[in-house]
Amino acid sequence: MVSVSSAPAATQLSIPELFARQQGRAGALRREAVSSRAARLRRLDTWLTDNREAIQQALYTDFRKPAVETDVTEIWSSQTELRHTLRHLEKWAAPRRVGTPLALVGTNGWVQAEPKGVTLIIAPWNYPFYLAIDPLISALAAGNTAIIKPSEMTPAVAELLARMCRELFEEAEVTVVQGDKDVATELLKLPFDHIFFTGSPQVGKIVMRAAAEHLTSVTLELGGKSPAVVDQTADLRDTAEKIIWGKGVNAGQTCVAPDYVLVHEAVRDELVAEMKAATQRFYSPQGQPISESDSYARLVNDHHFGRVAGLLDDACEQGTQVAFGGTIDAGQRFIEPTVLLDPPADSRIMQEEIFGPLLPVLTFSSLSAAVDAVNEHPKPLALYVFTQDKENQRYLLQNIPAGGACVNETILHLAHPELPFGGFGNSGIGRCHGHAGFLAFSNEKSVLRQRVGLTALKPLYPPYTDSVKKMVNLLLRWL
């Protein structure tokens, strides 16, 4: 049986014991005022501010993430979500009145959000801090307890999260359970009230099967091959900068990173030239090797490095042209930002989610052909459309199903707290961020209140006489 270390006193609890303790606490949290939830969130906000350098160091230790990227993608994004939630929490938690249909005149109704109870957050390795904190904010806002299972691939961040929880929360409210897939398997055997998982579609299916044993609700934030479609009207310098930034941040280890580019054949060469220039401006402004840049992260571990390097090798073995980049260094787990031209459709790089700094570029001659090429793959987590033609924008957004989309931008929809974020089909189930995240961790209880002794339908109670039948006929006809 797996034991977990909790609280500063180093109490040893098994996972079932910890779960039981949180079950016992969940009832008390349900009865708490919204102000108590807000107080926990404010403490978390203060901790993030006070521990900025510790967060930066943990991310650098795990995969040499630049401090500025940590500030923007791990800390700022977390605090944006947190402060947005604090501004709106009282409104979200208040009962929401609904209208009354004529047939039920005399009643009134409302929807009140109530906590689901004990929740499990399984965080990934690629943004190991933010993707643990973001769902935690929603879980706490909705009044739940939470067990966080961070990735074992980022041990420095996992330990930092554990310290954070020890300093801020009682273990019966929020705690971290560290370990490998065996620990995750043991956690998934328990009857959680909600599971929030971020990771691959393959593991997402395992989580969903486990949740089905207890009919546990799930939010699955998965992935897929997110395309960028560039038409002949796009501003190519601006487009290139945004695609290279979206692909280069965190060395491509981003679930919504552009996975491949479809560009109109008339502007392919110019776009590639602009992408090469943007890469140099970002990571080699003085002409130094990109491996010496302090603005570029590394792949998380040797296994992941080998997988991404294998995608590059496979593409090259099939005759794919490297437009620029291609340098790798296994000792540093370094792969240079690399653009590949027209890899075969059956190559691994066009069949698997890349999750690294490799970017295939393919061409199209018509928008319908671009749509068909995207829709040959499972529905992506994100779609990026680059155009200055409103009709082209409408056509692409209407005809390519995706979890979310940006027009003339990449990734930033993920940072918008008013935009529900999530996948579609193979790329995920459910939504998070802002009010959508609050609702994901809440049960929307519908309530109808009637005055004592009255009901609009009392005249329709049995026995079903001829007069009752006439009234039902009127009801069906007019109401």
**Residue 6 or 195, more confident:** 195
> What mean pLDDT do residues 358-384 have?
97
Q: Which residues are catalytic?
A: 221, 255
**CA 265/CA 283 separation, integer angstroms:** 27
Per-residue confidence (pLDDT) for residue 12, from 0 to 100: 76
Residue 446, helix vs strand vs coil: strand
DSSP 163-179: HHHHHHS-TTTEEE---
Per-residue confidence (pLDDT) for residue 297, from 0 to 100: 96
Per-residue confidence (pLDDT) for residue 149, from 0 to 100: 98
The percent of the chain in helix, strand and coil, each rounded to the nearest 5, is 50, 20, 35
Q: Which amino acid is it at 164? A: M
CA distances from 412 to 50, 348, 389 (A): 26, 28, 21
For the domain 227-426, what is the CATH code? 3.40.309.10
Average pLDDT, the chain: 95
Task: Count other C-beta atoms under 10 Å from residue 328's C-beta.
Answer: 18
Q: Decide if pLDDT at 3 tops 80.
A: no
Q: Do 227-426 and 15-223+431-443 fall under one CATH topology?
A: no
The single-letter DSSP state of residue 74 is: I
Per-residue confidence (pLDDT) for residue 4, from 0 to 100: 54
Which strand (E) or helix (H) includes residue 212? helix 201-212
Backbone angles phi, psi at 230, to 5 degrees: -120, 115
Per-residue confidence (pLDDT) for residue 56, from 0 to 100: 98
Give the dihedral sign, CA 251/257/259/260. Answer: negative
Which strand (E) or helix (H) includes residue 221? strand 217-221
CA distances from 53 to 80, 130, 250, 258, 425 (A): 18, 15, 18, 30, 38
Per DSSP bridges, beta strands 321-324 and 338-341 are antiparallel
Q: How many residues does the chain have?
A: 479
What sections of 106-188 are H helices per DSSP?
130-141, 155-168, 181-188
> What mean pLDDT do residues 148-156 have?
97
**CA 161/CA 381 separation, integer angstroms:** 27
CA distances from 103 to 36, 100, 106, 152, 447 (A): 40, 8, 9, 57, 17
Confidence of residue 11 (pLDDT cuts 50, 70, 90): low
User: Domain coordinates of the chain in residue numbers?
Assistant: 15-223+431-443, 227-426
Q: Decide if pLDDT at 373 tops 90.
A: yes
Per-residue confidence (pLDDT) for residue 7, from 0 to 100: 38
**CA 199/CA 21 separation, integer angstroms:** 27
Per-residue confidence (pLDDT) for residue 133, from 0 to 100: 98
**Which residues in 299-308 are b (16+ Cβ under 10 Å) and which e?**
bbeeebbebb
| Cβ atoms of 292 and 261 closer than 8 Å | no
Q: Which amino acid is it at 22? A: Q
Range scoring the smallest mean pLDDT among 4-13, 103-112, 120-129: 4-13
| Residue keyed to tokens 């787990």 | 333
**∠ at Cα 245 (124, 203), nearest 5°?**
20
Give the dihedral sign, CA 58/63/68/74. Answer: negative
> What mean pLDDT do residues 29-41 have?
97
Per-residue confidence (pLDDT) for residue 193, from 0 to 100: 98
CA distances from 319 to 1, 268, 316, 342, 363 (A): 51, 19, 5, 9, 17
**CA 302/CA 104 separation, integer angstroms:** 64
Confidence of residue 9 (pLDDT cuts 50, 70, 90): very low
Per-residue confidence (pLDDT) for residue 102, from 0 to 100: 85
**∠ at Cα 95 (89, 100), nearest 5°?**
145
76-86 pLDDT, tens per residue? 999 999 999 99
Q: Which amino acid is it at 45? A: D
182-204 pLDDT, tens per residue? 999 999 999 999 999 999 999 99
| Cβ atoms of 47 and 164 closer than 8 Å | yes
**CA 154/CA 158 separation, integer angstroms:** 6
Per-residue confidence (pLDDT) for residue 216, from 0 to 100: 98
256-307 pLDDT, tens per residue? 999 999 999 999 999 999 999 999 999 999 999 999 999 999 999 999 999 9
386-436 pLDDT, tens per residue? 999 999 999 999 999 999 999 999 999 999 999 999 999 999 999 999 999
Lookup: tokens for 259: 């996975």
**CA 215/CA 116 separation, integer angstroms:** 13
> What share of the chain has pLDDT > 90, as a percent?
91
CA distances from 147 to 22, 54, 448 (A): 9, 22, 34
> What mean pLDDT do residues 328-340 have?
97
**Which residues in 395-425 are b (16+ Cβ under 10 Å) and which e?**
bbeeebebbbbbeebbbebbeebeebbbbbb
**CA 181/CA 178 separation, integer angstroms:** 10
Q: Decide if pLDDT at 57 tops 60.
A: yes
Lookup: tokens for 350: 């066009």
Per-residue confidence (pLDDT) for residue 6, from 0 to 100: 40
> What mean pLDDT do residues 48-67 have?
97
CATH fold for domain 15-223+431-443:
Aldehyde Dehydrogenase; Chain A, domain 1 (3.40.605)
Which strand (E) or helix (H) includes residue 329? strand 328-329
